[in-house]
Amino acid sequence: GAVVSQHPSWVICKSGTSVKIECRSLDFQATTMFWYRQFPKQSLMLMATSNEGSKATYEQGVEKDKFLINHASLTLSTLTVTSAHPEDSSFYICSARGRGGLDTQYFGPGTRLTVL
Amino acid sequence: QKEVEQNSGPLSVPEGAIASLNCTYSDRGSQSFFWYRQYSGKSPELIMSIYSNGDKEDGRFTAQLNKASQYVSLLIRDSQPSDSATYLCAVKNYGGSQGNLIFGKGTKLSVKP
């Protein structure tokens, strides 16, 4: 149980284009989803937290107009990187947490974004 | 600022030995603690969670928590080369962004055959 999927697993795009990454909880309802970014050999950096049906909460320094997050249902959250630039190239990982006050977060497999 | 500290390593142990990974945290009010394993190029996978003082065992893994000392550790018995990975300690941030996890920078473990 507690499987989280991400799509796509990798993407290469041109500078200036937008990229959408999907995060799905496959066997549980995720009331809260988290989006992280990880640069090579660095730790996870929390970008934003989203609850189903409400606006995402962004961490300090993360541009909400650049990283659009939508949590439309209890099993799906999307991250759209708008007008991507080479410095946005990174490993983007989502995690999901279920109902009932459970604390455990389950991670998706990640999406590797390369912006040319 | 709430912090989670880990020795970055690398920690090198021979196959079959016990690997001991340590983590300290700054928020005395923390109640929920997690260990994740991350292989290179992959996302983190949950190994164990621990909420109460003492030891919690799951197979070859034992998590130890001491809230008074603000210390949590992970022991890996009979270490295998497949255990070679970066181990992330995480603490739930009760006062933060809807209970997000605060991660340490991870300890890289290398198990030598």
Over range B14-23, report the average pLDDT. 97
Shortest distance between the Cα of B17 and any Cα of chain A, in A, equals: 26
**A87 three-class SS:** helix
pLDDT per residue over B3-16, tens digit each? 999 998 899 999 99
Cβ within 8 Å, pair B98-A42: no
Token pair for residue A33?
């989803």
pLDDT per residue over B24-59, tens digit each? 999 888 889 999 999 999 999 999 999 999 999 999
Sorting pLDDT into bands at 50, 70 and 90, what band is B96?
low
Q: Which residues of chain A have pLDDT under 50?
A: none
The answer to whether B7 and B107 are in contact (CB under 8 A) is yes
- Using omega within 30 degrees of 0 as the cis cutoff, is the peptide bond preceding A8 cis? yes
Cβ within 8 Å, pair A43-B34: no
Look up residue B82 and give its DSSP letter.
G
The answer to whether B4 and B91 are in contact (CB under 8 A) is yes
Q: Name chain B contacts of A107, Cβ cutoff 8 Å.
A: 36, 43-46
Residues forming beta bridges with residue A67, ordered by sequence position: A81
Please, what is the average pLDDT of chain A?
91
Token pair for residue B83?
């255990």
Provide the pLDDT for residue A48: 93
Distances (CA, A) of B15 to B48, B78, B110: 22, 7, 9
The answer to whether B89 and B6 are in contact (CB under 8 A) is yes
Taking alpha carbons only, the member of A24, A26, A77, A74 closest to residue A47 is A77
Look up residue A55 and give its DSSP letter.
-
Q: Which residue of A has its CA nearest to B108?
A: A41
Provide the pLDDT for residue B100: 83
* Interatomic CA distance for residues A106 and A94, integer angstroms: 8
Provide the pLDDT for residue B98: 67
**B34 three-class SS:** strand
